[in-house]
């Protein structure tokens, strides 16, 4: 999924190298004239002027890759900080420094302390996970995938059909449950989602199940009533983990969404869906930086197995090798 | 959005104070404008095309009497953007019977809900409308459309046990041939799913629709252009509906889709409820996109 971003970064490194080394040669000539001694060793200190224009281009390239504006600015800023004042002797140095600066900037942005295994380790029983997100990002399908993920680890999940609003939502999750052999706790359409979630947690307690996955209705992060409803579910079931499900096709709004959900509900981790639709990976780089929470998985298709773990090192490897 | 609008207004204020609008000032304003549009998810290449023509005009054209340089540049920006969207709003015209509408779009863009919304809208306008579910992929797609159409009292055809969308379309076509409008819901698909695109093309051939509506999620980013292109290469998109504009998204991705497929936006979705569908107003969309209030 990072192919396009990778090309953009490579292009940027080349441009920066070219721009700096062009000026390097000019400067080298001046020194030669002054001293009157012919010298092959040229040294050049990278100045802000050298890279100003190329960094602007880099920023645009990042934006085109769906990297959110504030993150694109942060990346170019840290590249600038690392390059300006550096003494370089040959153009390969510039290439190396730029590549490193970019790599560090992106790792810095993706860095979190823990991995999926740790985060989703069952610390208590049942381990209650609440799913949130705007409409149509893929919450219900992701829950089915995660139910399978837990089952493969030998854990028994139960699903709460707490999207009691959207037409067909209860049927959709029920059918997933049937296919996977997972119990789905449900009420009638239109009933109180918090009550469904509460029942599912109680069911898990009495039947000694390991994980409760709570599906919720999609809601716009700007809809205060629905955000209130979500806060109520949270109060009632006191989840151990809250997962924000975001659509990788989303542009700058992805960051807005994650920010608002984090502010109003609190997010512990992120799952990005539809990463198979040839997305540029910008949302993946932006979201975790803005809310400071890790991305756990990428959804890469419509089947239950289409879920891969997300690691910062993996992303950097995709981008720079 | 607010922050961006602020940035823009600031640079425009700067521009207003200048006795002459010189190249440097215009370039600065253009840079801010580019940033605003890109953050609103307008395709980067489109932004450059746009800003180039804005820059050219801003430097060349004399502001008419009584108009300050500032107002003049804003006017140019507005005009150039309007060129993309069209000045007037395009209405849906039901000019034959039955009028067959096929809905297509990416997964989760809001097709099914929009189908029900439009069926409801048409019914209120006095058209006898019916809905056909051809989505055999998504779990409980049938149930969703059934519940929605029951709510609005519109007949719906589908069969949760049938796995051939072509057969479903054929059946539905036959069943509702005496209705004024037939709306066909389809499964979500994206440009890398070749088989699903083949299926869409076949569906379109079977139905021979009078109008194909591309449903676009208002939050979509830079992918909008290439996705819209993939759809329009397979079927002829006649109009666009942009959904989920009740959130914070500015819908710039949709703008890119419009310019890519060359079809007008006819409606926007502004919520989950059945009547959260509005006829599209280019002027309002534009000011939202730029974060400038009413221009």
Cis peptide before B98 (omega within 30 of 0): yes
Peptide bond into A243 cis (omega under 30): no
pLDDT at B2: 45
Whole-complex ipTM: 0.77
Considering only CA atoms, which of A319, A260, A263 is closest in space to residue A107?
A: A319
**CB under 8 Å to A154, separation ≥6 — which residues?**
none
**Which pLDDT belongs to residue A24?**
55
pLDDT at residue A289 greater than cutoff 90:
no
Is-contact B271 B265, C-beta < 8 A? Answer: no
Q: Which residues of chain B are within 8 Å of residue A302 when distances are taken between CB atoms?
A: 107, 137-138
Mean pLDDT of A55-63: 85
Q: Is A88 helix (H, G, I), strand (E, B) or coil?
A: strand
B287 touches chain A (CB under 8 A): no
Output the furthest CA–CA distance in chain B (Å, rounded).
Answer: 72
More confident site: A75 or A24: A75
Strands (E), A100-186: 127-132, 157-162, 183-185
Mutation target to probe the A interface, by most A beta carbons within 10 A, among B112, B221, B227, B229 is B221
**A157 band by pLDDT with thresholds 50, 70 and 90:** very high
Indicate the average pLDDT of chain A.
87
Q: How far apart are CA A102 and CA B182, in angstroms?
A: 53
pLDDT confidence of residue B293: 52
What is the CA B276 to chain-centroid distance, rounded? 15
Q: What is the Cα–Cα distance from A261 to A75, expressed in whole angstroms? A: 24
Q: Mean pLDDT throughout A232-257?
A: 92
Highest mean predicted confidence (pLDDT) among A112-116, A206-210, B218-222: A206-210
* Exposure string for A250-276, b = 16+ CB within 10 A, e = fewer: bbbbbbbbbbbbbebbbbbbbbbbbbb
CA distance B139 to A174: 9
CB of B81 closer than 8 Å to CB of B258: no
pLDDT given at position B276: 96
Find where tokens 């409760």 sit.
A212
Cβ contact A278–B190 (<8 Å)? yes
Q: Which of B219, B268, B269, B273 to mutate to test the interface with A (most CBs of A within 10 A)?
A: B219
- List CB contacts of A203: < 8 A, sequence separation 6 or more: A158, A183, A185, A209
Interface residue A143 vs chain B (CB under 8 A): no
pLDDT (tens digit, 9 = 90+) per residue, A77-86? 999 999 998 8
Give the residue ranges of DSSP H helices in B134-249: 141-152, 165-175, 194-207, 224-234
Question: What local confidence, expressed as pLDDT, does residue B68 receive?
Answer: 74
Q: Which of A69, A168, A251 is the closest to B222 by Cβ?
A: A251
Distance between CA atoms of residues A104 and A87, nearest Å: 19
Q: Which of B110, B112, B221 sits opposite A249 (nearest CB)?
A: B221
- DSSP reduced 3-state for A157: strand
Q: What is chain A's length?
A: 321
What would the CATH number be for the domain defined by A3-110?
A: 1.20.120.140
CA-based nearest residue to B247, from B226, B272, B225, B230: B272
Provide the token pair at A152: 């493969």
Phi, psi of B6, deg, nearest 5: -60, -50
Which pLDDT tens digit goes with each residue over A247-285? Answer: 988 888 888 899 999 999 999 999 999 988 877 778 888
The residues in A 123-142 lying below 8 A from B, measured between CB atoms, are 134-138, 140-141
Map out the domains of chain A as residue ranges: 3-110, 116-311
Q: Does A134 contact B110 at a Cβ distance shorter than 8 Å?
A: no
* Tokens 């089947």, residue located: A303
Helix axes A282-291, A253-264, angle to 10 degrees: 30
Q: Where are the alpha helices (DSSP H) in B40-68?
A: 44-60
Name the CATH code of domain A116-311 (choices 3.30.70.100, 3.40.50.720, 3.40.50.970, 3.40.50.300): 3.40.50.300
Q: Please state whether beta strands A241-247 and A127-132 pair in parallel, antiparallel, or not at all (unpaired).
A: parallel
Residues of chain B with pLDDT under 70: 1-21, 70, 86-87, 290-295
What is the model's pLDDT at position B196?
Answer: 92
In A107-198 the beta strands, taken as DSSP E runs, fall at: 127-132, 157-162, 183-185
- The answer to whether B107 contacts A302, with C-beta atoms less than 8 Å apart, is yes
Only one residue has tokens 């005496």, namely B178
């Amino acid at each position: 999924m990072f192919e396009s971003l990778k090309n953009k970064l490579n292009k940027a490194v080349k441009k920066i190298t070219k721009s700096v080394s062009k000026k390097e040669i000019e400067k080298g000539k001046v020194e030669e004239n002054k001293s009157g001694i012919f010298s092959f060793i040229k040294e050049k200190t990278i100045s802000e002027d050298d890279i100003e224009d190329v960094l602007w281009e880099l920023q645009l390239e990042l934006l085109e890759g769906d990297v959110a504006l504030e993150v694109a600015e942060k990346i170019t800023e840290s590249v600038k900080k690392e390059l300006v004042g550096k003494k370089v002797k040959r153009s390969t140095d510039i290439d190396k420094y730029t590549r490193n600066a970019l790599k560090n900037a992106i790792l810095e942005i993706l860095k979190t302390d823990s991995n999926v295994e740790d985060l989703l380790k069952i610390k208590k029983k049942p381990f209650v996970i609440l799913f949130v997100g705007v409409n149509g990002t893929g919450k219900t399908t992701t829950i089915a995938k995660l139910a399978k993920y837990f089952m493969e680890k030998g854990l028994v999940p139960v699903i709460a059909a707490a999207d009691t609003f959207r037409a067909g939502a209860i049927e959709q999750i029920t059918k997933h449950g049937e296919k996977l052999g997972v119990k789905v706790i449900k009420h009638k359409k239109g009933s109180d989602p918090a009550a469904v979630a509460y029942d599912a947690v109680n069911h898990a307690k009495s039947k000694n199940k390991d994980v409760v996955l709570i599906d919720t209705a999609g809601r716009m992060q700007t809809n205060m009533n629905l955000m209130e409803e979500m806060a109520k579910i949270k109060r009632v079931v006191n989840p151990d983990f809250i997962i924000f499900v975001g659509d990788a096709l989303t542009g700058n709004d992805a960051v807005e969404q994650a920010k608002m959900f984090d502010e109003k509900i609190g997010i512990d981790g992120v799952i990005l869906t539809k990463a198979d639709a040839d997305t540029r990976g910008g949302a993946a780089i932006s979201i975790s930086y803005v809310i400071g929470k890790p991305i756990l998985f990428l959804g890469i298709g419509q089947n239950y197995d289409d879920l891969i773990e997300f690691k910062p090192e993996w992303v950097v490897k995709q981008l720079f090798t | 959005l607010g922050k961006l609008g602020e940035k823009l207004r600031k640079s425009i204020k700067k521009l207003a104070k200048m006795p002459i609008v010189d190249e440097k000032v215009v370039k600065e304003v253009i840079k801010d404008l580019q940033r605003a549009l890109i953050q609103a998810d307008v395709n980067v290449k489109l932004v450059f095309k746009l800003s180039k023509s804005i820059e050219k005009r801003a430097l060349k054209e004399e502001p008419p009497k009584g108009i300050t340089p500032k107002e003049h540049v804003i006017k140019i920006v507005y005009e150039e953007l309007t060129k993309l969207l069209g000045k007037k709003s395009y209405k849906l015209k039901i000019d034959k019977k039955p009028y067959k509408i096929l809905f297509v779009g990416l997964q989760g863009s809001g097709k099914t809900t929009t189908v029900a919304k439009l069926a409801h809208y048409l019914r209120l306008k006095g058209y006898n409308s019916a809905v056909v579910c051809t989505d055999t992929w998504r779990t409980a797609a049938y149930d969703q459309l059934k519940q929605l159409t029951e709510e609005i009292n519109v007949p719906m055809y589908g069969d949760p046990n049938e796995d051939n969308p072509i057969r479903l379309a054929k059946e539905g076509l036959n069943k509702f041939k005496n209705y004024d409008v037939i709306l066909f819901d389809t499964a979500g698909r994206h440009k890398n799913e070749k088989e699903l695109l083949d299926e869409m093309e076949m569906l379109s051939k079977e139905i021979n629709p009078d109008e194909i509506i591309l449903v676009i999620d208002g939050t979509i980013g830079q992918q909008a252009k290439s996705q819209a292109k993939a759809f329009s290469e397979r079927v002829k998109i006649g109009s666009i509906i942009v959904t989920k504009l009740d959130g914070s998204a500015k819908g710039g991705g949709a703008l890119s889709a419009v310019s890519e497929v060359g079809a007008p936006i006819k409606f926007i979705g502004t919520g989950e409820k059945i009547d959260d569908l509005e006829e599209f107003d280019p002027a309002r969309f534009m000011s939202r996109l730029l974060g400038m209030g009413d221009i």
